[in-house]
Structure 1
Amino acid sequence: MSLYPTTLFHFSDKESLYGILNHNFKVSYAREKIIGPNNFREFAVPMVSFCDLKLSELKYFLTYGKFGIGLTKEWANRNGLSPVMYINRHCELMDNLISGINGIYMHLGFVDNMSQFNSLNKSYQNIMNTYRYIKNYDGELWRDGKLENDNYRFADEREWRFVPNLETEGVRPFVGISNIRTKKQKREFNSKVNHIRLRFTPDDIKYLVVETDKDITDLINHLHNAKSRFDPEIRNRLASRILTIEQIEKDI
């Protein structure tokens, strides 16, 4: 018996779920902060995030929204998703990693722009790419500028990420936090990756999650209106795969 499920979940609000069903996943820049015993780095990475959780575990991790979609790991593998690498913020390894990245910046005179990144030796680019898949095992959880938890265990989410290829034209693989502090700055950067889609077919969907029973009807109506993507046979099949948060919390 495997400890891990065969499904990856992405949670959001109702409007965002409907947008995903209509237009696939949109890539956006997510702010990250990695911390070591004596050092830290803040940056933003273009990505789409998922959690590798069983249905029975979802009730504990609904901080990202109460509307979700679960897709197969076969789909994830075809599209090159990967689990993130969790590193303890209290260990020397994290400090060494941050110091190494800082050293590359200083040694190469690296400034946060695409032309200089593209001029790097391929080996340096590959080293910098690991930076996009690193997360602290635990730490402070911030939402909309507010501290929600001062010792949140990120590893409990078992995050997987889709991150655009390094060679994706016109897309910065990461940006310094000073360039994306405000909502206006974030909108500007997200507009530059708005064309990138993480695509799936209806056959890749294992579950759809909504908040209440009323939302089931709304979702079925939405699938009906998106006729170009969800024909009657597909809609009927997906309707049988809709779960509510109440079911998950009480019965699973």
Structure 2
Amino acid sequence: MLKSMDSLFHFTKDLDVLFSILTTGFRGSFCKEVFKYRELEIVQYVPKISFCDLTENTLSEYKNYGNYGIGISKIWAKENKLNPVLYMENNSLVSKAFIEGYIGNRKAYGFVNSTCLALGETWRANQNNEQHILSFLNISTDVAWENLEVLQATKNVLDYNNYSMLFMKPYDGYLSRQGREEHYCFYDEREWCYVPEKSDFLNNYIKSEEWFLEWRGNRVKPLLDDLKLNFKFTDVTHLLVKDESDITELKNKIDQLDNSIISIEDKERLKSLIKIF
């Protein structure tokens, strides 16, 4: 039986990008996820940094993501609050519940926000006139505040639902590669990812196809400068390259790092982790 390693892997198509990750950390991007259940379909654009949980003998099967990769300790991953994604088969009841919940969340957010605004306006009107009878639901100021607490609790639940949904991924689907759509089993990746908990990303993560295409432009996968994870050199477990010339070049790049940011011992350790896959 093949067991998980104590590392997660992140792949790239360029040696310079691999070295940039090694020296400046991981950066995320918006990832398009398409979910279907019968005639229903929803699309999410998720801000995240993704990794694969692979075995040593399957690493070479993921060169479609690039000929270069970096392995990082799972201890680091857990400390930085990464989590495995939940894969959903399109015809499953989980997919049905997910899509219905996604649509319901949008409506529920609208109700909570509009109700909070109405209660706030009613409370302010009552403060200006002690004799004023509350017009909204004919309730007292105290009850209004109680409802605001319930509404806030409801919003917290909705926030949790929305955040959890960002860790969902289809079991399989179509993946665009070199201008072609290919059927692909995403489940094989055993993805872990980091999604920011509270940020402008989540406040605005529901994006349209038009927005996504405009944001991406001609770039294959543009990176987000403010979605970043740092690590220590000692957290690195693997450095994967394409050929012997890459080994030499990467070793030279590591040797040229300033000794003020990395010890000689760490340089030697990193060079020992380089291998062709």
Cross-structure match for 1:74:
75
Cross-structure match for 2:191:
159
In structure 2, distance between residues paired with 1:186 and 1:162: 25
The correspondence of residues 98-109 of structure 1 with structure 2, limited to 5 A, is 98-109=99-110
Correspondence for 1:206 among 223, 237, 244: 237
Shift of 1:144: 5.8
Q: More helix per residue: 1 or 2?
A: 2
Correspondence for 1:136 among 170, 195, 207: 170
Asked whether the equivalents of residues 180 and 186 of structure 1 are also in contact (C-alpha less than 8 Å), the reply is no
Structure 2 CA distance for partners of 1:137 and 1:162, relative to 1, 3 Å: same
Residue 235 of structure 2 is aligned to residue 221 of structure 1: no
State how many pairs are aligned. 231
In structure 2, distance between residues paired with 1:230 and 1:37: 54
Structure 2 CA distance for partners of 1:159 and 1:184, relative to 1, 3 Å: closer
Cross-structure match for 1:232:
264
In structure 1, distance between residues paired with 2:106 and 2:36: 18
Cross-structure match for 2:43:
42
CA shift digits 1:184-220 (9 cap, x unpaired): 4698xx67x4133211101001110000010011111
Give TM-score scaled by structure 2 length. 0.76
Letter of the aligned partner of 1:18 in structure 2? F
Q: Unaligned stretches of 5+ in structure 1?
A: 111-118, 246-252
Q: Unaligned stretches of 5+ in structure 2?
A: 112-151
Q: Secondary structure at the match of 1:121?
A: helix
Mean alpha-carbon deviation: is it higher for 176-185 or for 235-244?
176-185
Asked whether the equivalents of residues 139 and 154 of structure 1 are also in contact (C-alpha less than 8 Å), the reply is yes
Q: Secondary structure at the match of 2:226?
A: coil
Shift of 1:224: 2.1
Asked whether the equivalents of residues 37 and 92 of structure 1 are also in contact (C-alpha less than 8 Å), the reply is no
Residue 209 of structure 2 is aligned to residue 175 of structure 1: no
Shift of 1:159: 0.4
Structure 2 CA distance for partners of 1:229 and 1:175, relative to 1, 3 Å: farther
Letter of the aligned partner of 1:65 in structure 2? G
Give TM-score scaled by structure 1 length. 0.83
% identity of equivalent residues: 30
Who wins on radius of gyration, i.e. which is larger? 2
In structure 2, distance between residues paired with 1:32 and 1:244: 31
In structure 1, distance between residues paired with 2:72 and 2:30: 22
In structure 1, distance between residues paired with 2:195 and 2:44: 14
